[in-house]
Copies of this chain bind each other. A is one copy, B any other.
Amino acid sequence: MFHLFDQHRNALERAVKAVHERVFYAHFPEHPAAYGETGLADGKAAFEGQLNQTFSLLQTDTSGSVGEEVSPYTGQPLGVQYPAATVEVLIKNAQNAFDTWRHSSVQERAGLLIESLERLRPRFHEIAQATQHTTGQSYMMSFQASGPHAADRALETIAVAYDELTHYPENVRWEKPMGKIAVVLDKTYKPIPKGIGLVIGCSTFPTWNTVPGLYADLMTGNVAIVKPHPKAVLPIAIFIAELQNVLRDNGFDPNIVQLAADESSNLLTKTLAEHPAVRLIDYTGGSKFGDYIESLPNKTSFTEKAGINSVIIDSARDIREVMRNLAFSVSLYSGQMCTAPQNFFIPAHGIALPDGEVCSYDDAVALLRNEISSLVLNPKMGAGTLGAIQNPDTLTRAENAAQLGAKVLLSPIAVKNAEYDNARVCAPTVLETTAADSAVYEQELFGPVLVVVKTNDTQHSIALAKAMAAKHGAITCAAYTTNAETAARITDEMNAVFAPVSLNLIGFIWVNQHAAFSDFHVTGGNPAGNASFTDSAYVCKRFVWVGNRRTL
């Protein structure tokens, strides 16, 4: 098996270096054009070949099948059926597989796992199709998020884990001088895996949010059961299939990673999570269920839940550029990204501009509204930026945003998807409220809804943004100021509640984006989640160092 390690050693070492240096790095190019002239057509054909078929997996003892995916673009069921298994079978398979996998070496696992990513590389277009027609993301986002970005996040996790798993020498001779004699011992240090990991996926980012936990489990010698959202199975099923192929091809038990497909009417999640043999749980999704996951005794959990992300606008060099950048951030995938901004804190006295100019509060709000309108109505940009709404409930909530009790500054503009007549499209609603009316904005408004909150001044904005992050969690905070002291204060205050600050982003970079090898995703310090892609704790909590000693 070491041939795979040797084969991928350079990639691993570059990834380890990237994780340490945190400068720009991508192992998998993010542009679809990098994946062959016929890549798009081949991927589409492969995807269409899966429709109305039973998906093929190597895991054993499945019985029957399930499948209920519906394209948010066509409104039609995909018809893909996934092999089903009972919780008992999944656990038994996992326990058997663990007995061999736990004895594999760090190098073997690194080789096998990177090999799986390389085998997925030619399938990124197929994964993109699967992602688009389950999540509602645009094709471009589907491609990047579920393909190269997800694979880079997986590689990042492999690199962080490799670094931690090789942190101590495997063997040392320990010689303690005691006057005329010396005590001599041979000591070994072993990272022992915990057992079975459950990885619970979400419906909006079925691979990007799942593969870090999945690869972290596998890389640290644990076996994994992946429980995807029943409405977004296919993208991660393709990852699992390739992992199982690589394992089988190299003499390992394919049950080391299993798909636990289920149905909305009969979810396996709680039964799996509460099973005593499940020791690790990765979870992406709503806060209520995430809190339940975190409360389970005798489990190590890694959660990404909901947050309320803030924008603090104090001053700007070019307020139109600022609003254009933010308009894109809130419109991108219709606000269904966990990193999308929701609450815009703008001082009543307006926003300071260069040379003593001021953009009044009303003008600032008008600019924001106009930039959103321009974007979504742009025939080349609008529909592609918005994508489609994954869940009909999200659409209903967004359409009813006017009833939240706030002033409606912008109602959803009708946007037509030229390619898909039945696409579930919804442009942003912009609400406005006072700071006092916190009931409106002190909740996660998942989807294309944002709230402008008029504050007394920037200090007030900071206080409110900080309180939201501390109480409800926050994954990002976008801030705009030309004043160095204010920038430092915003950063200090938001960092104190473990919210990262993105300062003065304009142009082709948005607060929503968290790049592998450089940006931590979720800090793990506030209620938005207890884990971070990918810090040391993200992998170290999955195994236990055990030191043995022996006389010579």
Binding site for B on A (CB under 8 A): 20-24, 102, 164, 167-169, 172-178, 181, 183, 185, 187, 189-190, 192, 194, 295, 297, 487, 491, 495-496, 498-509, 515, 518-520, 523-525, 532, 535-537, 540-541, 544-551
Contacts and interface: CB of A to CB of B under 8 A. Distances in A.
A498 B548 CA distance: 11
A32 B353 CA distance: 69
Contacts of A185: 509
B495 A546 contact: yes
Contacts of A498: 192, 544, 546
Given A192-B525, A295-B297, 6 more contacts: A174-B518, A176-B515, A187-B519, A192-B495, A503-B550, A509-B551
Given A22-B187, A187-B518, A194 B525 contact: yes
Nearest to A537: B540
Nearest to A490: B548
Contacts of A544: 498, 523-525, 532
Contacts of A496: 102, 192
A169 B141 CA distance: 30
Nearest to A98: B496
25 contacts: A23-B174, A24-B177, A102-B496, A176-B515, A185-B509, A187-B519, A190-B495, A192-B496, A192-B498, A192-B525, A295-B297, A487-B550, A491-B548, A499-B546, A500-B547, A500-B549, A503-B550, A506-B551, A518-B547, A519-B547, A520-B546, A523-B546, A535-B540, A537-B540, A541-B541
Nearest to A508: B183
A192 B178 CA distance: 42
A537 B537 CA distance: 6
B503 A23 contact: no
A546 B507 CA distance: 23
A519 B532 CA distance: 29
B546 A22 contact: no
A536 B523 CA distance: 17
Nearest to A174: B24
B548 A500 contact: yes
B297 A176 contact: no
Contact of A540 (B506, B519, B536, B547): B536
A440 B326 CA distance: 68
A24 B548 contact: no
A86 B536 CA distance: 37
Contacts of A518: 172, 174, 187, 547
A517 to B, nearest CB: 10
A155 to B, nearest CB: 17
A502 B549 contact: yes
Nearest to A541: B537
Nearest to A543: B525
Which among A177, A181, A183 has the greatest number of chain B C-beta atoms within 10 A? A183
A102 B502 CA distance: 21
A24 B176 contact: yes
A533 B201 CA distance: 34
A30 to B, nearest CB: 9
Contacts of A524: 544
A339 to B, nearest CB: 12
A21 B550 contact: no
Contacts of A176: 24, 509, 515
A356 to B, nearest CB: 22
Enumerate the 8 nearest inter-chain pairs by beta-carbon distance, A residue then B residue, closest first. A525-B544, A503-B550, A537-B540, A504-B551, A183-B509, A501-B548, A24-B176, A502-B549
Nearest to A524: B544
Nearest to A507: B183
Contacts of A168: 20, 22
A494 to B, nearest CB: 8
A368 B496 CA distance: 58
Contacts of A525: 192, 194, 544, 546
A490 to B, nearest CB: 10
A141 to B, nearest CB: 16
Given A183-B509, A495-B190, A495-B192, A169 B549 contact: no
A524 to B, nearest CB: 6
A276 to B, nearest CB: 11
A190 B505 CA distance: 20
Contacts of A173: 23
A23 B175 contact: yes
A546 B500 contact: yes
A368 B544 CA distance: 34
A200 B502 CA distance: 39
Contacts of A549: 500-503, 505, 519
A388 B143 CA distance: 70
A24 B175 contact: yes
Nearest to A295: B297
Nearest to A497: B192
Contacts of A515: 174, 176
